[in-house]
Amino acid sequence: MKDSILMAIESLCDDIATNTDAEDNHKRAAAIAQLSMALLLPDDAEDGTEETEDESTAPEAKSNMPKSGDRFTYNGISFVILGEEQGGILAVQEHTLGEEMPFDEGGSNDWRKSTLRKYLKEEHIKKFNKGDLLPFVSDLTADDGLKDYGTSEDYIFLLSCDLYRKYRPYMLKYNKWVWTITPWSCAPGYAYYARSVYTDGSLDYSSADIAHAVAPACIFNPAIFE
């Protein structure tokens, strides 16, 4: 493009040198000045436009992070994504464990010392690469508001009633009663009832030494989805 401009300028200069008409030479000089300005423009702006990225063809930033309600399989276990919690991706198993279990064989509704927690912590965890999980702090506030049990930190746990309510739109209806982590009360005489979910999705409570189905939950490290 610049070569053609130089050739045009050279031709106009030759015309000025051989032509004695002052008015014509004045027009040629103006044309030379205009062409000279064009030589100063960057190559991608010679046509009067700037090269810009076509937004319609620009690749969109895609996120591999799963969304609430998505399903995915990890080590042969099917999960339902609930949402983002405590820096990770909260998910609950799509299918309950094959065996029904009591919340606690001794009848306590204190998750911190329950036999079900011990099983999930020592046995079920073997199906996971621990680096793919994040520890989750569960609020063990009882259904009646008592906070005697404080909190617990686990890699595999049960949903609390509050989390169940929060993610109810994405929760499955299991064909068996399933445990939650929430005690009904911590008060003496009532510390053996734990909250559970009925097959229609409603919340209920059961004696901790009764066997119900178990739907383990966990927090996945977001890095595994990148």
88 shares its domain with 33: no
Classify strands 133-134 and 217-220 as parallel, antiparallel or unpaired: antiparallel
Residues 6+ apart with CB under 8 A from 61: none
Q: What is the tally of structural domains in the chain? A: 2
Q: Where are the alpha helices (DSSP H) in the chain?
A: 2-18, 22-40, 115-122, 161-166
- Residue 45 half-sphere exposure toward CB, CA atoms < 13 A: 7
Residues 41 and 78 in one domain: no
- 56 occurs within a structural domain: no
Quick check: is 159 in a domain? yes
Tens digits of residue pLDDT in 109-145:
999 999 999 999 999 999 999 899 999 999 999 999 9
Contact of 172 with 205, CB cutoff 8 Å: no
Strand partners, 156: 218
Q: What is the predicted pLDDT for the residue at 16?
A: 59
Element spanning 202, H or E: none
Domain range for residue 95?
Answer: 71-225
Report how far apart, in Å, the C-alpha atoms of 141 and of each of 115, 131, 136, 152, 192 are: 19, 28, 15, 11, 14
- Mark whether 25 and 102 lie in a shared domain: no
Do 39 and 81 fall within a single domain? no
59-98 confidence digits (pLDDT tens)? 444 568 899 999 999 999 999 999 999 999 999 999 999 9
**Region at 222 (left for phi over 0; alpha for psi -120 to 50; beta for the rest):** alpha
20 and 76 belong to one structural domain: no
The residues pairing with 102 across neighbouring beta strands, listed in sequence order, are 211
Q: Does residue 55 belong to any structural domain of this protein?
A: no
Residue 56's pLDDT band (cuts 50, 70, 90): very low
Q: Does one domain contain both 133 and 82?
A: yes
d(CA 22, CA 32): 15
Instruction: State the pTM of this model.
Output: 0.72
- For residue range 128-138, list pLDDT tens digits in order: 998 999 999 99
